[in-house]
Amino acid sequence: MTNSSSPSISVFFPAYNDEHSIGRLVEEALEVLAGLTDVYEVIVVNDGSADRTGEALAALAARHPAVRVVEHETNRGYGAALRSGFQAARHELVFYTDGDGQYDVRELLKLVPLLGEDVDVVNGYKLGRTDNLNRKVIGGFYNQLAHLLFSLPVRDVDCDFRLIRKSVLCKISLHSNSGSICVELIYKLRKAGARFEEVGVSHYARKFGKSQFFTFRRVSKTLYDFFLLWLKLKVFRAD
């Protein structure tokens, strides 16, 4: 793939208290993108971080013209951060992964070749999950329940490592504020006619901080939103 013939790409990261990992991710994304296309951007959605994530992002944006920061004054939730990222993305292809460093953004190079003319979404799946047992059990249960209730076309809806054509994103509207947005995204993309491909990606232990999702309150809220989503999409057939 040469720069002159390549589609433009938007990469974005939702970030919450990721001051120690977000800088490296942005720098690696810029390096990868420069070898893929002439037209690209890196967006970070700072979802009301309480640490120095905002300062780190301001410094990155000052150094790199291709970096943009979207600020949430308060923490709105993972789904709201993804919705802001999709809305801010301006280019033909949109890639996102989390800002905590558990995925290697350089593995975007594995996704791009699979996005042929007959593919709209390339979804990663984890090649072994390097989390503690509690997170593995919860993640596995969530993934199985999502497939049971929504018949999703990907094996690992809990893997936030996705490359999507902007044209298919424009066909759907997303409303979730919690982690249930991943199910909403994949379900609505398939319903809109999107064609999927999958590839295995590496998953790493979190080096800094602590996950904000795997708390009783957050998991309970996500499951509650998950079943509301099922009622809305599968029972009442709403958009």
Q: Which residues contact 91 (CB under 8 A, 6 or more apart)?
A: 7, 8, 9, 10, 39, 40, 41, 166
Q: What is the pLDDT of residue 2?
A: 47
Report residues of the chain scoring pLDDT below 70. 1-4, 131-132, 208-216
C-beta separation of 121 from 171 below 8 A? no
Domain encompassing residue 105: 3-235
Work out how many domains the chain is built from and give that number: 1
10 Å CB burial of residue 20 (0-12, 13-18, 19+) is middle
Alpha-carbon dihedral 95, 169, 44, 218, rounded to 10 degrees: -100
Q: What is the pLDDT of residue 1?
A: 44
Q: What is the pLDDT of residue 22?
A: 97
pTM: 0.93
Q: What is the pLDDT of residues 147-178, one digit of tens each?
A: 999 999 999 999 999 999 999 999 999 999 99
Q: What is the pLDDT of residue 168?
A: 98
Q: What is the pLDDT of residue 4?
A: 57
Question: What is the domain-level CATH number for residue 112?
Answer: 3.90.550.10
